[in-house]
Amino acid sequence: MSEEVDFWSATIAAYQPLQLKSPELTPKLLKRPPFRFIHDIISSIDARFAVYNHVIPAELRNSAQVDTKEKKIEYLTLLIRYINTLMRVELDVNPKKIVSGHEPEKTNIFLQYAAAAVGYAQQEKGARATSAATQARVASPSSSPPKLAAPSSTRPSEGPLALSPASGLCRKKRNPMDCAARRCSHVSALDEAAKFNRKLSGYSLNLSLDEERDVRTEGQSIVRMWKALSNPQVETEPSRMPQEALETAIKRQIETIKMMQELLSENDRVIDKLESLVT
């Protein structure tokens, strides 16, 4: 009897960094992934990261409504095409065979790429949101600063001993050009800050910052992690992900770091401009 090939452990490892609450990825389900199980995985990814919901039509996001073979094939086809575009690959997987339960090893590779593509999808959505905001700004008519009302001239009253009224006296006034330039600077800084906020919201990260956490539990978790990392006796195992998927994941992390550095630099520029408004 030939030994069973383990093609599901790499899938489990690929989803561990995503920390999805459900469904549980078990060898039993991954050995022959049913469509409902695949749909639940993608829905869970969207619930946490919101990266595939713009690709899948609303009527296909509810698994109860994906009740025919044709709809299931359409759902998988949209996902496969999108992942191929993001990862610049051509997955050797057939939606019809996934629905029928055939070639489970290829289905697992598809699931691994669905996990690895999350970072790329976040970047793509962020770029899409930035492009839309830029186009909206270009399309909207530019608002010119309101014109300053010209001071009304008052003729002095006639008579040899008459004094000029107060409105006719010479006084030091602000330069209208300086005021207009200052107003434009304020509008520009506030507009840039709003644009940056829209750009950040385009990444659709759900970090669950409002969840209550126990300080003691978090501290103990950090201590355990530190001890595990500092223990030289711990033996590490090579990743079971396919080499191509592993290389793609590493490239994604590098691109994510570069993206964060650019966002931090842009954030500093926006803060500097906003601080100049109150100084």
- DSSP secondary structure string, 155-211? PPPSSTTPPPPGGGS------HHHHHHHHHHHHHHHHHHHHHHHHHHTT-----TTS
Six token digits for residue 134? 């830029």
> How confident is the model at residue 4, as a pLDDT?
81
pLDDT tops 70 at residue 150: no
What's the pLDDT band for 207 if we cut at 50, 70, 90?
very low
Taking domain 8-126, whether its CATH number is 1.10.3720.10 is answered by no
In angstroms, rounded to a whole number, what is the distance separating the alpha carbons of residues 256 and 125? 14
Contacts of 253 (CB under 8 A, 6+ apart): 119
> How confident is the model at residue 3, as a pLDDT?
72
Q: Are 40 and 63 in contact (CB under 8 A)?
A: yes
Percent of the chain scoring above 70 in pLDDT: 63
pLDDT tops 70 at residue 156: no
User: What residue segments make up the domains of the chain, in order of their start?
Assistant: 8-126
> How confident is the model at residue 232, as a pLDDT?
54
Q: Are 104 and 5 in contact (CB under 8 A)?
A: no
Q: Is 117 helix (H, G, I), strand (E, B) or coil?
A: coil
H-helix or E-strand spanning residue 250: helix 243-277
> How confident is the model at residue 174, as a pLDDT?
46
> How confident is the model at residue 148, as a pLDDT?
47
Give the predicted TM-score (pTM) of the model.
0.51
Average pLDDT value for residue range 123-132? 80
Burial of 58 from C-beta contacts in 10 A (0-12 / 13-18 / 19+): exposed
Average pLDDT value for residue range 158-177? 47
Average pLDDT value for residue range 156-172? 47
> How confident is the model at residue 11, as a pLDDT?
95
Q: What is the pLDDT of residues 84-121, one digit of tens each?
A: 999 999 999 999 999 999 999 999 999 999 999 998 99
